[in-house]
């Protein structure tokens, strides 16, 4: 899983796991990598998948001077990152992973580009294989805004919705460039004050999504009176190429933390038994309650993004309270050490909270306090007037 050594100045990795993490951190650090034995032993069809080559194409689009060499059998990749450029471009995302797989890469790299990002992405907007565009807009945007001195220009607009398996969605993402990210102290968990949501349907009866909304509200109103779920009923070309529906719920706390959960329906076309709207509504509500129980100051899906921003922030101490570490975050912390030489202090947050503090601050599952000193990563490409 971790780096196996160096070869001709390249960090050497094996296997396909955490492919995106390695490319992302290679691009930011400027350190070239080689990844070998990609699905060499444990798959009938070894080598890169379409969504991985598609990711390489995206990184090539937003950088200048990047050199990518793919082995003849597709089981190895040599990646020599160029300079982050950004700007305006379009990218057709692989259907298999959805737009969210690529969007969180843009979110991580966007502030450090030479030119502000203005990207149009096409494909699947709401997929079980990656965070949806609604999930990213709610939770990841809330996280990035904590680290930006000014979030003017940060925007995500859904032009068309596209569900599995045929996609047809389109979103526009814009992100401003920043010289540096600020160090922050976010050490207290606050109470959930309201629930908001977006229920969407494409090429199916609006009654389906209305039934899902009523079911979800029936669960959430047992815990909080302020629950409101919008409906987005797309028609014609704006409804993509496949039928379906889904619900994205967001729990917002008094300090602006946003926990999000989403479930998209299954249809005969996408495989499996068709989804019952009432079941979907109940399941997504329970999924959101699980996120709230995990707690902290960030959605569990974007713990890694917090770690990245803390590591690249100003040369000052940053502290951030999160819920139980996900496996993805654990490996991301290991990769941060390998690419940037930065280590985090991880503590049981119970020891950080004063005994006379409100017990509600530590309600739910065990929390982790992340602490590090930022490396002072600076965007030298940003023009200074």
d(C-alpha 195, C-alpha 248), whole Å: 11
pLDDT of residue 45: 83
Tell me the pLDDT tens digit for each residue of 66-95: 999 999 888 999 999 999 999 999 999 999
Tell me the pLDDT tens digit for each residue of 229-248: 999 988 888 888 999 999 99
Contact between 109 and 175 under an 8 Å Cβ cutoff? The reply is no
Res. 322: pLDDT tops 60: yes
Task: Find the mean pLDDT for residues 341-353.
Answer: 82
**Tokens in use for 237?**
């070309």
SS (H, E, C) 34-73: EEECCCCCCCCCCCCCHHHHHHHHHHHHCEECCEEEECCC
Which residues have a Cβ under 8 Å from the Cβ of 344 and sit 6 or more positions away?
307, 310, 311, 333, 336, 370, 371, 372
385 falls in which pLDDT band (50, 70, 90)?
A: very low
pLDDT of residue 68: 97
Res. 358: pLDDT tops 70: no
SS3 227: strand
Task: Find the mean pLDDT for residues 240-259.
Answer: 94
Res. 181: pLDDT tops 60: yes
Tell me the pLDDT tens digit for each residue of 102-139: 999 999 999 999 999 999 999 999 988 899 999 999 99
pLDDT of residue 354: 47
Res. 25: pLDDT tops 50: yes
Res. 42: pLDDT tops 70: no
Task: Find the mean pLDDT for residues 303-316.
Answer: 95
Lowest mean pLDDT among 105-114, 306-315, 348-357: 348-357
pLDDT of residue 3: 78
Contact between 305 and 108 under an 8 Å Cβ cutoff? The reply is yes
- Regarding predicted confidence, which is higher, 357 or 285? 285
380 falls in which pLDDT band (50, 70, 90)?
A: low
Instruction: Tell the burial category of 57 from Cβ atoms under 10 Å away from its Cβ (0-12, 13-18, 19+).
Output: middle
Lowest mean pLDDT among 138-147, 208-217, 346-355: 346-355
Hey, what domains does the chain have and what are their CATH numbers? 1-82 (no CATH), 192-294 (3.30.360.20)
Distance (Å) of CA 343 to CA 67, 328, 335, 360: 29, 16, 10, 30
pLDDT of residue 360: 56
Task: Find the mean pLDDT for residues 326-344.
Answer: 95
Phi, psi of 232 (to 5 degrees): -125, 95
pLDDT of residue 91: 97
Q: What is the DSSP letter of 239?
A: G
270 falls in which pLDDT band (50, 70, 90)?
A: low
355 falls in which pLDDT band (50, 70, 90)?
A: very low
φ/ψ region of 47 (left if φ > 0, alpha if ψ in -120 to 50, else beta) reads: left
pLDDT of residue 382: 54
Task: Find the mean pLDDT for residues 194-209.
Answer: 93
Task: Find the mean pLDDT for residues 140-160.
Answer: 90
pLDDT of residue 2: 67
State which H helix or E strand residue 322 sits in: strand 317-322
Contact between 273 and 210 under an 8 Å Cβ cutoff? The reply is no
C-alpha count within 13 angstroms, C-beta hemisphere, residue 68: 19
Task: Find the mean pLDDT for residues 368-380.
Answer: 90
d(C-alpha 203, C-alpha 239), whole Å: 6
Res. 9: pLDDT tops 90: no
Res. 268: pLDDT tops 70: no
132: closest CA among 154, 99, 158, 89?
A: 99
pLDDT of residue 273: 77
| Mean pLDDT of the chain, nearest integer | 90
140 falls in which pLDDT band (50, 70, 90)?
A: very high
State which H helix or E strand residue 91 sits in: strand 86-92
């Amino acid at each position: 899983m971790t780096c196996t050594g160096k070869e001709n100045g390249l960090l050497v990795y094996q296997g396909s796991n955490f492919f995106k993490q390695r490319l992302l951190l290679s691009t930011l650090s400027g350190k070239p990598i080689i990844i070998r034995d990609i699905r060499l032993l444990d798959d009938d069809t070894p080598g890169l998948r379409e969504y991985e080559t598609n990711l390489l194409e995206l990184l090539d689009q937003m950088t200048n001077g990047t050199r990518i060499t793919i082995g003849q059998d597709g089981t190895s990749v040599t990646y020599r990152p160029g300079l982050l450029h950004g700007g305006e471009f379009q990218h057709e995302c692989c259907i298999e992973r959805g737009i969210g797989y690529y969007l969180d890469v843009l979110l991580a790299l966007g502030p450090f580009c030479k030119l502000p990002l203005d990207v149009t992405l096409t494909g699947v907007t709401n997929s079980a294989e990656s965070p949806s565009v609604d999930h990213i807009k709610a939770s990841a945007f809330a996280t990035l805004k904590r680290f930006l001195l000014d979030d003017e220009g940060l925007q995500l607009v859904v032009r068309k919705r596209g569900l599995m398996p045929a996609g047809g969605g389109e979103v526009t993402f814009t992100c401003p460039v920043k010289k540096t990210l600020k160090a922050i102290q976010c050490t207290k968990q606050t109470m959930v004050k309201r629930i908001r949501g977006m229920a969407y349907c494409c090429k199916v009866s609006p009654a389906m999504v209305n039934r899902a909304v009523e079911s979800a509200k029936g669960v959430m109103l047992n815990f909080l009176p302020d629950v409101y779920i919008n409906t987005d009923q797309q028609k014609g070309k704006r409804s993509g190429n496949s039928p379906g529906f889904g619900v994205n719920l967001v729990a917002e706390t008094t300090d602006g933390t946003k926990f999000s959960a989403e479930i998209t329906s299954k249809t005969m076309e996408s495989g499996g038994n068709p989804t019952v709207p009432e079941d979907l509504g109940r399941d997504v509500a329970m999924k959101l309650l699980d996120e709230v129980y995990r707690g902290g100051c960030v959605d569990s899906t974007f713990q890694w993004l917090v770690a990245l921003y803390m590591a690249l922030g100003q040369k000052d101490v940053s502290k951030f309270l999160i819920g139980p570490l996900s496996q993805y975050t654990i490996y991301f912390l290991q990769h941060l050490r390998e690419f940037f030489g930065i280590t985090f202090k991880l503590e049981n947050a119970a020891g950080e909270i004063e005994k006379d503090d409100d017990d509600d601050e530590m309600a739910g599952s065990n929390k982790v306090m992340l602490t590090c000193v930022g490396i002072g990563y600076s965007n030298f490409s940003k023009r200074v007037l």
